[in-house]
A and B are shown apart, each in its own frame.
Chain A
């Protein structure tokens, strides 16, 4: 049995494959995971979540509301002003990184991810 960390992570990705992997990786490390299928759903899940997640991992390329818009939307809400948000994407384009930074992202992980790097990133922003 994995020891629960009491830390909750919201993952936002339109790929069910990726969501499945994130869930396995994070739950395996003792995190509580909630998920949203795109930016719009992510916002809904975030605002309905009790307790509020301690960190968010979001994809960039998603239908309806992409990762940039999602990050901006979350940052625009006062109660999430300091909520760590990590981008998880296949891209590593500096322009996009800059955009994510400007939107308020806390970090950037390139897919495919290793469980350890992911967990290390979460640990870093939620310690």
Chain B
């Protein structure tokens, strides 16, 4: 299997992903009652495409299932089957199985055979109903022409190895030559075909049997030049083929043109070779889609006969296809190919996401900017050559270069950006499965699927979201009886939305369930030893207990959420992405989880500040304002902590140097030279950082500190500044949370997400 094929296989899996999304979209539309022709066609096409591609790679399981799926969708397309909620549900289930089978082909994860079988049976019922034979199992096997044929780009295929069939000539040595006469109608030429093509076809057949064709053209029908109509057909041909050629091969050559070309086939001398079996078509596995039979003019001319063993060698197109389809996959040399494909896919898994599809205009934008960059560079060079040094000009140019660099960065980011749609749509399935496992009815509504974030982030969102949604269905939404008793509609609602908020992406998962039962959470936390029995906690602190390691509120571990992955893992995953999770919950009305994530994991806008003599970076997005220190506004609390009152609002004062453990500097309170930075976390809680100076504002490239050292409280990452020095990037929300933890000045609803 060549590297080229690997590339195409990658494209195939990518395309499968897209088709499955398309399918999901279409089926969702169907379940919303939108059963337009376009929707149904799109759904059909998606499955059809997956099948077509899979067949090319010999992915048998996938092809078989896709085929049944496609057939059942065909009923929908032709109007035999109506898209009732029941049927759409069956399709959704089939889609999940299909998606699993794609995954199986891709990375070797095995799919539960019972699930496939169950879904297949359901689909077959639909097919049965559609054709008026309810219950009848149709198309148990894939029709012959859908059987996978491994594609092989080697120059010669085994099936076409003509040398192997020499014995044939001996066997039929004394048989009579085959004489073919044909006269094309004008219509044949109108179809882009040519008598020449047929002659080549016949010649190929002759050569395949070690002989040659003898061609004579019958020109008697040709009129005088004056009467000649150039586009009309006047000629007919007589071709003598070697005796070894079976008539079936000749039929195949004329198969397609049988309606526009008169053909007769005779054996010179009439004795036909004995001992043949029936023609391959008659043997083909009975299928729903019968093979086309040759037109009467041909079949009537002579009984069609073909020695089966020889057939593969008589290789004109369609017979070869059919024969190949009939061969059991195992014994053919080429049949090892699918296995190779599977292995290749499995081993390649880690780099599977290495390609992205990008809108052309984004690449064009990037090109334009790079073009400008080249011009700017040329301008700089010309300044350098000037006699007077051109200092003013140089500064101007460098400034414009800076803008340009910024634009290029944005453009590159845009190339990497991807809508969250792909992940969000996958959640429909998560909820569907969670529903069927818990016997609940939940409708997941998606909002803001077009919100774009960096590609790496999109992928990493999948696991945490999956768990949170499972959790929402399992623990958030009440049972139908409870809901009815509480005066709610029996079907639960979960809203999954995404949007941009001040340079970050905000994802909310909102359910209309029973809300967090704080009493029970508290009791459980005490029981598990997460908190002391006498601890006094605010509502939000209690809510956040569900993120504590080893916490589970379900009195009995359900088969859904009780998979060993707790909300603490979710929180860690989000934190690992530089994000935050906050919860708000109203008992009886539901729970809302807010995930706030950076748009990218690569760069951020930073304010360069100085603390304890070192330059550090504060993300600009978290800075609200900066001001000089005014001692009148600073108050000391009884426990020694300071708060500052800014326009009437009190917030904790954090001397950054001592907060980070960089010596006792600032211990005596801020000096007049210091600067106050008012910073804010995602939920709006504020604190005032005291720093020594503000140096600059710059875009910094984020380097993980966790990967190279370990996680540090108050520091989220590191970066390398323009002068080559390493600088720490401060974790503002953590700093704010730490400060608020010590000083009780906050409104109770702001301490979120970070208590655990």
Q: B145 in the interface, Cβ–Cβ < 8 Å?
A: yes
Contact of B53 among A18, A63, A124 (CB under 8 A): A18
Q: Tell me if B317 and A112 are in contact (CB < 8 A).
A: no
What is the CA–CA distance of A78 and B49 in the complex, to the nearest angstrom?
32
Contact of B324 among A101, A114, A125 (CB under 8 A): A114
8 Å CB interface, A99-127 against B: 101, 104-117, 120-121, 123-125, 127
8 Å CB interface, A55-108 against B: 61-63, 75, 81-85, 90-94, 97, 101, 104-108
Q: Tell me if B315 and A120 are in contact (CB < 8 A).
A: yes
Q: Tell me if A17 and B149 are in contact (CB < 8 A).
A: no
Closest to B260 in A: A101
Q: A28 in the interface, Cβ–Cβ < 8 Å?
A: yes
8 Å CB interface, B139-195 against A: 143, 145-146, 148-149, 151-153, 156-157, 159-160, 189-194
| Contact string against A for B residues 184-208, beta-carbon threshold 8 Å, 1 for contact and 0 otherwise | 0000011111101100110010000
8 Å CB interface, B585-614 against A: none
User: Could you tell me how many residues of chain A have their Cβ less than 8 Å away from some Cβ of chain B?
Assistant: 46
What is the CA–CA distance of A102 and B11 in the complex, to the nearest angstrom?
34
Q: Tell me if B193 and A114 are in contact (CB < 8 A).
A: no
- With A21-B56, A92-B289, A110-B145 already in contact, the answer to whether A125 and B321 are too (CB < 8 A) is no
Q: Tell me if B152 and A115 are in contact (CB < 8 A).
A: yes
Q: Tell me if A90 and B4 are in contact (CB < 8 A).
A: no
Q: Tell me if B190 and A81 are in contact (CB < 8 A).
A: yes
Q: B130 in the interface, Cβ–Cβ < 8 Å?
A: no
Q: Tell me if A18 and B52 are in contact (CB < 8 A).
A: yes
- With A17-B56, A120-B204 already in contact, the answer to whether A125 and B190 are too (CB < 8 A) is no
Q: How large is the interface on B (under 10, 10 to 19, 20 to 34, 35 or more residues)?
A: 35 or more
What is the CA–CA distance of A16 and B44 in the complex, to the nearest angstrom?
17
Closest to B320 in A: A117
Closest to B8 in A: A20
B610 to chain A, nearest CB (A): 53
Q: Tell me if A93 and B289 are in contact (CB < 8 A).
A: yes
Q: Tell me if A123 and B200 are in contact (CB < 8 A).
A: yes
B52 to chain A, nearest CB (A): 5
Q: Tell me if B256 and A107 are in contact (CB < 8 A).
A: yes
| B contact residues around A18 at 8 Å (CB) | 52-53, 56
Q: B290 in the interface, Cβ–Cβ < 8 Å?
A: yes
Q: Tell me if B153 and A28 are in contact (CB < 8 A).
A: yes
Q: Tell me if B48 and A114 are in contact (CB < 8 A).
A: no
Contact of B153 among A24, A93, A117 (CB under 8 A): A24
Contact of B52 among A15, A81, A107 (CB under 8 A): A15
Q: Tell me if B193 and A84 are in contact (CB < 8 A).
A: yes
Closest to A24 in B: B4
Q: Tell me if B7 and A20 are in contact (CB < 8 A).
A: yes
Q: B112 in the interface, Cβ–Cβ < 8 Å?
A: no
What is the CA–CA distance of A102 and B189 in the complex, to the nearest angstrom?
13
Q: Tell me if B56 and A114 are in contact (CB < 8 A).
A: no
Q: Tell me if A17 and B12 are in contact (CB < 8 A).
A: yes
Q: Tell me if A124 and B200 are in contact (CB < 8 A).
A: yes
What is the CA–CA distance of A46 and B44 in the complex, to the nearest angstrom?
27
What is the CA–CA distance of A125 and B366 in the complex, to the nearest angstrom?
43
| A contact residues around B14 at 8 Å (CB) | 16
Q: B292 in the interface, Cβ–Cβ < 8 Å?
A: yes
8 Å CB interface, B257-312 against A: 259, 289-293
- With A24-B4, A112-B148 already in contact, the answer to whether A15 and B53 are too (CB < 8 A) is yes
Q: Tell me if B317 and A21 are in contact (CB < 8 A).
A: no
| B contact residues around A61 at 8 Å (CB) | 44-45, 48
Q: B318 in the interface, Cβ–Cβ < 8 Å?
A: yes
Q: Tell me if B146 and A101 are in contact (CB < 8 A).
A: no
Q: B316 in the interface, Cβ–Cβ < 8 Å?
A: yes
Q: Tell me if A82 and B192 are in contact (CB < 8 A).
A: yes
Contact of A90 among B52, B151, B153 (CB under 8 A): B52
Q: B51 in the interface, Cβ–Cβ < 8 Å?
A: yes
Q: Tell me if A17 and B55 are in contact (CB < 8 A).
A: no
Q: Tell me if B8 and A24 are in contact (CB < 8 A).
A: yes
Q: Tell me if B11 and A127 are in contact (CB < 8 A).
A: no
Q: Tell me if A17 and B11 are in contact (CB < 8 A).
A: yes
What is the CA–CA distance of A97 and B292 in the complex, to the nearest angstrom?
9
Q: Tell me if A114 and B157 are in contact (CB < 8 A).
A: yes
| B contact residues around A24 at 8 Å (CB) | 4-5, 8, 153
A105 to chain B, nearest CB (A): 7
Q: B15 in the interface, Cβ–Cβ < 8 Å?
A: yes
A54 to chain B, nearest CB (A): 11
Closest to A120 in B: B317
Closest to B204 in A: A120
What are 13 A-B contacts defined by CB distance under 8 Å? A28-B153, A84-B192, A90-B48, A90-B55, A108-B256, A110-B318, A112-B56, A113-B321, A114-B151, A115-B151, A116-B160, A120-B316, A123-B200
**20 additional contacts (CB under 8 A) given A90-B52, A93-B289, A127-B197:** A14-B49, A17-B15, A20-B7, A20-B11, A61-B45, A82-B192, A82-B194, A90-B51, A94-B292, A110-B321, A112-B52, A112-B149, A113-B149, A113-B151, A114-B321, A115-B152, A115-B157, A120-B316, A123-B200, A124-B197
**Which residues in A have some Cβ–Cβ distance to B below 8 Å?**
14-18, 20-21, 24-25, 28, 61-63, 75, 81-85, 90-94, 97, 101, 104-117, 120-121, 123-125, 127
Q: Which 5 A-B pairs have the closest CB atoms?
A: A17-B12, A17-B53, A20-B8, A106-B192, A84-B192
